[in-house]
Chains A and B, each alone.
Chain A
């Protein structure tokens, strides 16, 4: 896991190598496809044409939205460019909007008829947008591409299904990981990436000689993702199985949050770490260890930092880490125009088959067959990819993202900023959360 990081970002050659592996993999999977596109219940994605993986209609322009504003952006740009070269009849107009704005804009834009035909969204947002009928079922496409459950972990596969229809096709999975500064590790005499609480604390103690405060505890993003990971590790769940009650204030949750605040009280982190500071500090070697999303890989490579990536250590009793997945969707806007619909399907199919290229963006391909291809094995995130079984996802429930944002995200921030005790902050937030979940159930009838 301590591979040498190429200092000049990704090279064109490497890009091609990855792509080659993917092409081979996709050629295999493409053989299984070609079934007739069946009319799927609801949604109106009905189409009389067979899906062949090729588009033979008139020239069409697809509006394609995603939120790849970071180090992942150039890889998607390249994929889109390549796609257009291979499919001259389909022009893809990309709109890249920062994710937070994306989820506000996308439904509004689709409702106004000015939104995407096809796009990428996080798995935990699918249900919300499905119940709003912003996005449409994709079951026929899934079948025709030949994607099957056994190529994915059940969690990833099932989270795309809402009310018996599939709304999202997983492109990748991405989780939190532990980034560390290799130079500082060797300077401090830490030989290996810590894997559990004991080794992490031992490493932090040693690292304090190099960086008095080696592990800054963020108060905002990704603090709530760290909390979720630890909650799951302690055997807790944020929400109950019926999705009507917030349970993140369980002992498991309080323990998780207490552990996070102790990183500060034990002196490994300063107080009041503002949004992004821990990350900027890591880039500037003011921090030796930081937990962040694996999609930061390219940004860190560009910062010419001697870093490596390891799985988040197991602090609790089981191994678990927060993860999410980028999923393709089609909108009702595309469903109204048969040509666009066909073209969008061709586009999704094409990109998913190239998901090994997408690994260059720091992501882990969702499909096992691609993940195990040699190209992915060599990437920085390979140690994370190996941990896919430990990845935990938030359930597909409409409105849940908003509940998260309004409840434990704020509780975590409050506790880390020392405003309230972890137990108190979580209990209060859970009370609110349960109320919001009940209201959502009523509103969305889910």
Chain B
């Protein structure tokens, strides 16, 4: 923001500015909590329903009208979902974790390496490379689905996690995002390092990377969530039950005419609980990461 940009504050961003604090004091506390709670209930009740349904018997889970308290709570659904070889939910969970984790790591590593020369070095072809990358920012993934499917097939990656980890790792957004962040870093530290005799690699690893932690974390989180939630691609490239990721696997629990809500909900609870818990603890860090990174350009 060339002219009207607010300065980047040096204080930790997570601490809400006092000005906001005072502005918000005008809102009566009770009213706020009422609003938050109503909205919260709207958000939570479907999840609560999911939790409740997962403890119902097969018959009650499909009962009409649905009940909010299981008549006869049972862990039968959990038992079937976990112990059935056709629906290895824990395996799916592990697959999703591996896939999202590896994808995030790959995205961050390759994007950080690529963003550095684009931000700080001058070399022939830079404009072409950067133009191409930026241009693909706007290319919707759909255009790549069909050819990538064939390419992944040629590489013999179908039905393996590699197929959901690697092809989506060329993140144009990641490069763009980190380049913007690197551009915003003060050059003095780098120059000092160069004076001390550091080469490009040492500057990158010792100066740039440590300064860029929030941006790197943010990119990792975004990549992780995108991969975690991806549905279209895994549905088509993974075939066997033990190779599925969670979204693709769970969708196989509903068959043409025979939705087993009990199993589905139990699977969903198993799938989401760890991530929810993780989020509750990590959210502060995530928000900080996003706010201190190059998103604002």
Contact = CB atoms under 8 A, between A and B. Distances in A.
B64 A280 contact: yes
Contacts of A299: 258
A112 interface: yes
Given A95-B239, A109-B159, A296-B257, A280 B62 contact: yes
Interface stretch (A53-61, A100-108, A150-158, A194-202): A100-108
A427 interface: no
Contacts of B58: 302-303
B117 interface: no
Interface in A93-137: 94-101, 104-105, 108-109, 111-115
Nearest to B254: A98
Nearest to A69: B255
B252 interface: yes
Contacts of A115: 239
A441 B259 CA distance: 36
Contacts of A105: 236, 239
Interface in B74-95: 85-86
A352 to B, nearest CB: 23
Given A98-B254, A109-B239, A299-B258, A304 B59 contact: yes
A307 to B, nearest CB: 14
A8 to B, nearest CB: 13
A70 interface: yes
A375 B252 CA distance: 33
Interface stretch (A27-35, A39-47, A255-263, A281-289): A281-289
B147 to A, nearest CB: 15
Contact of B256 (A113, A221, A303, A304): A221
A71 B156 CA distance: 35
A104 B158 CA distance: 14
A71 B258 contact: yes
A2 to B, nearest CB: 22
Bin the interface of chain A by size: 35 or more
Interface residues of B, number: 24
Given A95-B240, A108-B239, A70 B258 contact: yes
Contact of B158 (A112, A284, A292, A296): A112
B167 interface: no
Given A96-B86, A109-B239, A114-B239, A221 B59 contact: no
A222 interface: yes
Contact of B153 (A73, A101, A111, A286): A111
Contact of B235 (A101, A279, A284, A292): A101
Nearest to B158: A112
Q: Which of A111, A112, A280, A284 has the most CB of B within 10 A?
A: A112
B252 A283 contact: no
Nearest to A303: B59
Interface in B43-81: 58-59, 62-64
A71 B62 CA distance: 15
Contacts of B59: 283, 302-304
A70 B257 contact: yes
A198 B27 CA distance: 69
Contacts of B239: 95, 97, 105, 108-109, 112, 114-115
A70 B255 contact: yes
A281 B241 CA distance: 31
Contacts of B64: 280-281, 284, 286
A378 interface: no
Contacts of A111: 153
A276 interface: yes
Contacts of B156: 112-113
Contacts of B153: 108, 111-112
B63 A292 contact: no
A87 B64 CA distance: 46
Nearest to B241: A95
Interface string B221-257: 0000000000000011001110000000001101111
B138 to A, nearest CB: 29
A409 B156 CA distance: 36
A293 interface: yes
A100 B235 CA distance: 12
A305 B259 CA distance: 17
A71 B260 CA distance: 11
A112 B159 contact: yes
Nearest to A222: B257
A346 to B, nearest CB: 22
Contacts of B254: 98
Nearest to A305: B59
A124 to B, nearest CB: 15
B86 A221 contact: no
A362 B153 CA distance: 38
Contacts of A303: 58-59, 62
Q: Which of A105, A284, A286, A304 has the most CB of B within 10 A?
A: A105
Contacts of B256: 69, 98-100, 221
Contacts of B259: 276
B19 to A, nearest CB: 50
Contacts of A279: 257
B252 A296 contact: no
A292 B236 CA distance: 29
A221 B62 CA distance: 18
B236 A108 contact: yes
Contacts of A97: 239, 241, 252
Nearest to B154: A112
A292 B252 CA distance: 21
7 contacts: A67-B255, A97-B241, A112-B239, A221-B256, A280-B64, A281-B64, A296-B258
Interface of A: 67, 69-71, 73, 94-101, 104-105, 108-109, 111-115, 221-222, 276, 279-281, 283-284, 286, 292-293, 296, 299, 302-304
Across the A-B interface, give the 5 residue pairs with the lowest CB-CB distance, nearest first: A69-B255, A284-B64, A112-B158, A70-B258, A98-B255
Given A69-B86, A69-B258, A99-B256, 6 more contacts: A94-B86, A97-B241, A109-B239, A111-B153, A280-B62, A302-B59
